[in-house]
Amino acid sequence: IDSSVIAYEAAKQLGQDLDSFTVSTSDPAFDEAPVAARTARELGIRNHVLSLQVAPLDEIQRLVRQYDQPYADYSALPTSAISRLARQHVTVVLTGDGGDEVFGGYRRYVAAQWASAFRFVPSSLTTMLAGLLQRQSGSRRSTAGFGSRFLRGLGQSPGARYLSWTTDLLQDSDKQQIWIGGPMRPTEDWIEELLPRRLSGFDTQATGDIQVNLLSDLLVKMDIATMAHSLEARSPLLDHQLAEFLAALPDSQRITGGRLKGLLRDAYRGRLPDEVILGKKRGFEFSLSSWLENELRGLIMDTLGSPSARVRSFLDGQFIDNLLAGGILRDRNCACLVYALLTLELWLIDFAEGTLANDSWTAPAKCHVPKAA
């Protein structure tokens, strides 16, 4: 809905002299091209459907060089690819970044409102239920998976709860068992310092998203991915007056009846197609597990799988070996962790040897890419 709102408002100003871009993929779970085409027709604007064929082995090498830091958000791969395609048509794009953060588009905002109803439930019971749901969940994003993370976060500090309800890659207790790189400051402590005291549950999550999710991830991703292709991205939903107005509203008005982005949906009902207003949230994501098990598998095993991998100076080698073993990659949480370690390893290679400074840099000499079946 965020991008559709931007298109609607831009069309009011520019009429039909407006281009919209959407990505078509072979996976219907991620393909929004049909909805985007119908929305563009209703708005009377030109819609470009870009067939995005991401070559992850090539893209990840470019990204390590472009970002110049370990960057673990794998959606940077398709974001970079679509930026390159969009630059063939325009020099400035408008994005929907910020819509989830200012309008309340994440399930954790609803969870923050529900948390008070569980304050009298014994922690032993919530811990038991969290474990039960985790065993039943197919992935961390399933209903059972999020329910498990919700229950686990109830008894945690605000910083730890934010991590449980968002990334949930490794908790501090996990890190203590596998970290061998010397003194380490828990991520929870860093986030704790960013969260002002005495905020409501909703505002605590929203503040964390603005300080961490937006500033350290989403905006960094978009800025570097677009500027690397001489494309400028602007985010109208992050207008400070709009954000300040919404932040001043009571929590009950921002999340009503458990509906995410209820205010935004109600404001554009009748202006945008019902399938946009009522549609479920879809992130700009692709099948990471498939990439890791196919196109990137050779690179992973020749870097992370090597006994001389640099990340093994920081993490227990047995943990890395177990992570890379077999079907463990089919769990999205593990897939994200493998990708994070891969980008870290490639960055460490560049930092130590400067191999990425040369534009002709390719994967390590022993790297092999499996042939298509």
| Each residue's pLDDT tens digit, 310-350 | 999 999 999 999 888 864 445 557 888 899 999 999 999 88
The whole-angstrom separation of Cα 1 and Cα 280 is 9
Alpha carbons within 13 angstroms on the beta-carbon side of residue 12 total 7
Does position 30 have pLDDT exceeding 70, yes or no? no
Query: Does 259 score more than 90 pLDDT?
Result: no
200-226 CB burial, b ≥16 within 10 A, e <16: ebbbbbbbbbbebbbeebbbbbbebbb
CA 269 to chain centre: 27
pLDDT higher than 70, residue 361:
no
> What is the per-residue burial (b if ≥16 Cβ within 10 Å, else e) of 122-161?
eeeebeebbeebbeebeebeeebbbbbbbbbbbebebbbb
Residue 167 pLDDT greater than 80, yes or no: no
Query: In order of start, what are the domains of the chain with their CATH numbers?
Result: 2-103+217-277 (3.40.50.620), 107-207 (no CATH), 288-357 (no CATH)
* β-pair type (92-94, 46-51): unpaired
What tokens does 178 get? 């596998």
Rounded to whole angstroms, how far apart are CA atoms 263 and 254? Answer: 6
C-beta of residue 100 within 8 angstroms of C-beta of residue 106? yes
Q: Is the pLDDT of residue 300 over 50?
A: yes
Which pLDDT score, from 0 to 100, does residue 326 have? 61
**pLDDT (average), residues 163-189:** 82
pLDDT band for position 302 (cuts 50, 70, 90): very high
Least confident range of 29-38, 194-203, 260-269, 293-302: 29-38
227-248: pLDDT as tens digits? 999 999 999 999 999 999 999 9
Distance from C-alpha of 101 to C-alpha of 104, rounded to nearest angstrom: 6
Structure tokens at 53: 């064929």
**Residue in 16, 48, 39, 31 with CA at minimum distance from that of residue 268:** 39
Q: What number of other Cβ atoms are within 10 A of residue 14's Cβ? A: 11
What are the beta bridge partners of residue 20?
Answer: 47
pLDDT exceeds cutoff 80 at 369: no
**pLDDT bucket at 137, cuts 50 / 70 / 90:** low
Query: In this predicted structure, what is the pLDDT of residue 233?
Result: 95
Cα–Cα distances in angstroms (integers) from residue 264 to residues 39, 94, 105, 238, in the given order: 17, 18, 10, 14
* Percent of the chain residues topping a pLDDT of 70: 88
The answer on pLDDT for 141 being more than 90 is no
Q: Report the distance separating Cα 206 and Cα 142, nearest Å.
A: 22
pLDDT at 36: 87
Residue 121 confidence (pLDDT) above 70:
yes
- The answer to whether the Cα torsion of 316, 317, 318, 322 is positive or negative is positive
Question: Which pLDDT score, from 0 to 100, does residue 366 have?
Answer: 39
In this predicted structure, what is the pLDDT of residue 331?
Answer: 52
d(CA 365, CA 47): 43
Residue 359 has pLDDT above 50, yes or no: no
Q: Please state the rounded mean pLDDT for residues 119-125.
A: 81
Distance of alpha carbon 3 from alpha carbon 139, whole angstroms: 27
User: Residue 230 in 3-state DSSP?
Assistant: coil
Residue 356 has pLDDT above 90, yes or no: no
pLDDT digits (tens, 9 = 90+) for 31-89: 778 888 889 999 999 888 887 777 888 888 888 888 888 899 988 988 888 898 889 99
